[in-house]
Amino acid sequence: MTTTPRALPMKVADPALPARIRIHEVGARDGLQNEKGVVPTEVKAEFIHRLAAAGLTTIEATSFVHPKWVPQLADAEQLFPLLEPIASRGDVALPVLVPNERGLDRALALGARSIAVFGSATETFAARNLNRTVDESLAMFAPVVARAKADRVHVRGYLSMCFGDPWEGAVPVEQVVRVAKALMDLGCDELSLGDTVGVATPGHVTALLRALTGAGVPVSSVGVHFHDTYGQALSNTLAALRYGVTTVDASAGGLGGCPYAKSATGNLATEDLVWMLDGLGIETGVDLDELTATSVWLAEQLGRPSPSRTVRALSPVSHKE
């Protein structure tokens, strides 16, 4: 791909920010789970291979959920073996979503070494996404986490609706902290705070992080997962970085949403994040040009341009329309 000529952002470091960030790339899972059509397995595999070649080291690959709930990812058994060359490198993690023991059995049978359970801070979303109450979902996750840990499999605990919920409105910080603590108490290695419908603003992010660390959850085990519905994802990320967060979820090209939360739009675009971090002199290991070329290629496969401002700015003219 020929990108348009561009000036690189001038690197101006901010000593209040971390020196290095781990990007948890969710485009292949959070992005593609929300596509109207089913993306061919070979395209998904090539997407993930290209993300790894662009320098991403944590690439969420797919979900072992009920295929009727998320038909877009029903090919997990076919896709995962195609990722073996990446898995065998040893320096790239390929986490997969697993809601229950059935999902764990499927993931372990294929050799997955990193999984994520996904809870909700609100009852309505727990019911819609998992067909369970919040506490029933935690009970469903308990044996999953215990078995995974016994097998030395890395476990992430997602927590959705941490800021606002389209059915319940603003979500009290204490309610989020209770479920977050419960996920960590199950034995999760890390927690990802989901702004599922993208309503967070930076002060709210800082308040939640303060409450969580005050309740004993170390900031080193907390990641942030912002959807960009109101254009706040990057500002919210900066607030989290200032608080010491060093794991940021993002999706290449800004793909994404959630099939069980219709008002959710794409995640923070990885390219927008990398542009900002490059300017701040923060290491990510990601090659922005290779990543942008990947998102342009995927946008061609999907038949529509990427919503990422950075992808559009760096893309050939044909992609901007």
The binding site for Mg ion (CB under 5 A) comprises: 30
With contacts defined by CB under 6 A, name the span among 46-54, 58-66, 182-190, 228-236 that binds ligand HMG: 58-66
* From Mg ion, ligand HMG, none, interface partner of 103 (C-beta below 5 to 8 A by class): ligand HMG
Say whether residue 252 binds ligand HMG (CB under 6 A): no
Residues 109-138 that bind ligand HMG (CB under 6 A): 118, 129-131
Say whether residue 103 binds ligand HMG (CB under 6 A): yes
Say whether residue 225 binds ligand HMG (CB under 6 A): yes
How far apart (Å, rounded) are the C-alpha atoms in residues 275 and 160? 26
Residue (30 or 271) nearer to Mg ion, CB: 30
Residue (3 or 124) nearer to Mg ion, CB: 124
258 is catalytic: yes
How far apart (Å, rounded) are the C-alpha atoms in residues 317 and 66? 40
Query: What's the residue count for the chain?
Result: 321
How far apart (Å, rounded) are the C-alpha atoms in residues 30 and 33? 5
Q: Comparing C-alpha atoms, which of 121, 71, 68, 76 is closest to residue 95?
A: 76
With contacts defined by CB under 6 A, name the span among 47-55, 92-100, 168-176, 312-320 that binds ligand HMG: 92-100
How far apart (Å, rounded) are the C-alpha atoms in residues 181 and 303? 42
For residue 139, give every residue at least 6 positions away whose Cβ sits within 8 Å of its Cβ, in sequence order, or none: none
Query: What is the spatial order of strands in the sheet that 22-25 belongs to?
Result: 58-59, 22-25, 247-250, 222-226, 190-195, 154-160, 114-120, 96-97, 62-63
How far apart (Å, rounded) are the C-alpha atoms in residues 55 and 38? 26
Say whether residue 194 binds ligand HMG (CB under 6 A): yes
Say whether residue 301 binds ligand HMG (CB under 6 A): no
Interface residue list for ligand HMG (CB under 6 A): 30, 33, 63-66, 69-70, 97, 99-100, 102-103, 106, 118, 129-131, 158, 160, 194, 196, 225, 227, 258, 260
Catalytic residues: 258
